[in-house]
Structure 1
């Protein structure tokens, strides 16, 4: 939960340029000078220009026509506009193309024998056969993310949990406040502060990336990441009681890591972050054997130093002058994303409050690892919805297809969450199997998180943040009401999702 789960919106393509309608020029047509020297027929002339001037009684020219019938200019125009007229759903679209090219009604009457652009457009619409091929998905679609990359992100979300295993003996002390182990309060306060700050910072940096300005995104991270680390450290130190200094120092390192991880994840350097976290694999033997305290401290400091070093290296473009010369998006627009980070973070912490420390830690590990598959399923839902938008022709068909995709993606995520929970339970020495009631509560919290992330990806982040915050507040005030609060939040978010995301307009980019 590094605060960088905000999904990037894809870059909106520019609208296609309207076609230029070429004006056909007759062969051997006189130039401008010759045209000016050639006398034009008077209004009373009845003979056609270039003919013999003789007409029959019914008005049909009797002069020499060169042995061939003249080509209908409307057929020529229809041939030139075939690609655009074939995909038009109404003649007015063709009329707009004609008018944008500067065709006046006088020109249309003289050249094509129609009263105006709308009459000519109706004729063209009738002459050209309708063809509406379903366009293929654009290459490099941002919503078709690879599963391997999302699983990698889920792994780097969960690996920092091993730091708590390494630091547990270093933080051991007297029982703390609120019935929690010593040092828990500063650790939680620093972590929640980092989640809120980094979620908002990630949104601002991703907004710059969406505008195509990577240097400005790096500049925003260069300023915001250290500020977030200082804020988390200050909160942890302020909430530390006497005797909780080791926990406060660990919380300071935790805040620094969250800032560095946010930089690397936003800028797409997941592999670098994985390399930086590799020393934490030394915590695996600590599940069964006791490691010396110097070894534990060395592994923690090595992982933290490597994370910060990689983050500093990728922020070099942001140091250059003029990297963020524009004003950029308003900072207030990132506030709802920070609130969503607060609500989702508190829900994850509530899921970790179990009858035993082991069962609670297993739930947190499962939720954290599931963020990788969750992100991939979010991309999958968005990509499938865009495909349906291109291929389906009625709103009812689209609603049915999107609802089915939503059910499949949410069901797939909950299945993965159950599998990860069971795997974490079996891998953790001495961990009991989760009780059905706790498993149901965990699935409800997972539903809230996934639907909240989905609404956030579609811009309805304020609603998702409000629901998550209310559910987290209810669980904090009355822990026994956790299943009811999580179930109510899941139901509200499900209704909001069905109301907002079954509309085709919500998916247009």
Structure 2
């Protein structure tokens, strides 16, 4: 049905006047338009445009002739505009609780934190591979190649995980598996090569250990991206039990290596099984079938840009350097005894579970603030309160974990106020960086963390000493910068999507 009637001779469609309605006295019958408005009041009040009402009228069989004769309007569109003006807007709230996509269970986040921390126990079992005189910096034998391989692995796998998650966000799980199947082995080879170069002519045991570490990081990335945390935890159980036993009783070298190799093999096999379905599609003979099934959709498929994953990779590198400096500070304070799996590093790693859960809680609080406030200033104040609460909870959990690991760690050095202050500032840098990353401002977080890591490296090279004292100043500056970036984004509703 068209909006207007055919034009009369010499006239225009939009100049056709409606049939005038006579004024009704109070004793007369009610206005039919009012009756119609009352009958459909709920629908009309929720309409955002008169055309919605016109569609309802037409679906009820309302013709233009009936509209003119009964309601005195030119057509159903004019009647719809009249009804839209007579009924006040009243958009109903959705029934039931408001949807919150940021709700997540605490237990799952704590499980991920444990999974992140358990590989640190491998250094306890791998101590025979790292035997030998310490280097000139006071670190245990093999520390430098291990750190070099670990940093390379964190950087590579952070970028790989972002690319895989990007494919998942596009709904293409097979492409995610193919990205992981190709990226994880390449990353393991790259990390092994970096560790070999850092070792030079010595430390063959450390290079061997670093190769296993690189394979584990790649396989664990596959399992974590695909949501197989429990399978990863079960695979690490033998190594975990052996390491805990080795802390109190001597364990033969062959048993140590067997436990390490067994857990590593289990993790790698599980990761291979997860990506196998997508890899099988690329075998000769199945590529044609895959292309035929995609058809014309292949041309329209949006592929994540490789450059989009680079900030995440550099963010992983910057955070990795800062965490390793905290661990190295513990080793130096312990006069070169032990390994890089120190109480500070373990506490920071375990705290990733509460950090993840509190990030979700903050995003949930931001969504609630959007619904409960009506001005940008009120929304900024509401999200600021939520931010302070979540940050305080994270730092409190980190402090508790630091005290617990220092108390339970065999022969751990005594932690003073400077040590704890530096650890809390580093935790603030870590959590605000993750928050910026969730806001989509990962470039700023990566720039601050990498600049902080470079500053600490230069400061320690120029003024050798206690890394904790240097870190206290460096972490404080980085935490202030990132907190400023976060505060600038708190009032933007688009940052809380």
CA-to-partner distance for each residue in 1:449-503, whole Å, 9 max, x for gaps?
0000011011000000000111111111113532111001001111110111222
Post-superposition offset of 1:225: 1.0
In 2, the alpha carbon distance for the partners of 1:118 and 1:187 equals 77
Structure 1 residues 359 and 261, CA gap change in structure 2 (3 angstroms): closer
In 1, the alpha carbon distance for the partners of 2:51 and 2:322 equals 54
Q: Choose from 240, 244, 248 the match for 2:203.
A: 244
Q: How does 1:278-289 map to 2 (within 5 A)?
A: 278-280=237-239, 281-289=241-249
Secondary structure of 2:426's aligned partner: helix
5+ unaligned residues in a row in structure 2: which ranges?
10-18, 59-63, 283-289, 461-468
Structure 1 residues 404 and 297, CA gap change in structure 2 (3 angstroms): same
Q: How does 1:42-121 map to 2 (within 5 A)?
A: 72-73=32-33, 76=36, 80=40, 82-83=42-43, 85-86=45-46, 93-95=48-50, 97=52, 113=73, 121=81
Are 2:486 and 1:505 equivalent residues in the alignment?
no
CA-to-partner distance for each residue in 1:244-286, whole Å, 9 max, x for gaps?
1110111011000000000000000000000110012211121
Correspondence for 2:254: 294
Are 2:422 and 1:427 equivalent residues in the alignment?
no
Q: Choose from 123, 126, 129 the match for 1:170.
A: 129
Are 2:383 and 1:402 equivalent residues in the alignment?
yes
CA-to-partner distance for each residue in 1:122-166, whole Å, 9 max, x for gaps?
852541352452665566x54211101000000000000000011
CA-to-partner distance for each residue in 1:357-415, whole Å, 9 max, x for gaps?
56971000000000011001111111121122223333232212111111010100000
Secondary structure of 1:353's aligned partner: helix
CA-to-partner distance for each residue in 1:413-449, whole Å, 9 max, x for gaps?
0000000000001111232431101100000000000
In 2, the alpha carbon distance for the partners of 1:101 and 1:346 equals 64
Q: How does 1:129-140 map to 2 (within 5 A)?
A: 130-133=90-93
Q: How does 1:218-297 map to 2 (within 5 A)?
A: 218-280=177-239, 281-297=241-257
In 2, the alpha carbon distance for the partners of 1:102 and 1:190 equals 70
Are 2:135 and 1:180 equivalent residues in the alignment?
no
TM-score by length of 2: 0.81
TM-score by length of 1: 0.79
Q: Which piece of structure 1 moves more, 277-286 or 168-177?
A: 168-177
Structure 1 residues 366 and 133, CA gap change in structure 2 (3 angstroms): same
In 2, the alpha carbon distance for the partners of 1:292 and 1:100 equals 81
Correspondence for 1:5: none
- Contact kept in structure 1, 2:51 and 2:80, CA below 8 Å: no
Secondary structure of 2:328's aligned partner: coil
In 2, the alpha carbon distance for the partners of 1:496 and 1:315 equals 38
Q: Choose from 285, 305, 311 the match for 1:330.
A: 305
- Number of residue pairs matched by the alignment: 443
Structure 1 residues 491 and 97, CA gap change in structure 2 (3 angstroms): farther
Are 2:319 and 1:344 equivalent residues in the alignment?
yes
Q: Which piece of structure 1 moves more, 173-182 or 279-288?
A: 173-182
Bigger proportion of residues as helix: 2
5+ unaligned residues in a row in structure 1: which ranges?
1-20, 24-39, 44-54, 62-67
Structure 1 residues 432 and 180, CA gap change in structure 2 (3 angstroms): closer
Are 2:390 and 1:418 equivalent residues in the alignment?
no
Correspondence for 1:495: 484
Structure 1 residues 143 and 478, CA gap change in structure 2 (3 angstroms): same
CA-to-partner distance for each residue in 1:214-241, whole Å, 9 max, x for gaps?
1111111111111111111111112212
In 1, the alpha carbon distance for the partners of 2:269 and 2:108 equals 22
Correspondence for 1:438: 419
Structure 1 residues 302 and 75, CA gap change in structure 2 (3 angstroms): farther
In 2, the alpha carbon distance for the partners of 1:134 and 1:393 equals 18
Structure 1 residues 249 and 78, CA gap change in structure 2 (3 angstroms): farther
In 2, the alpha carbon distance for the partners of 1:455 and 1:477 equals 26
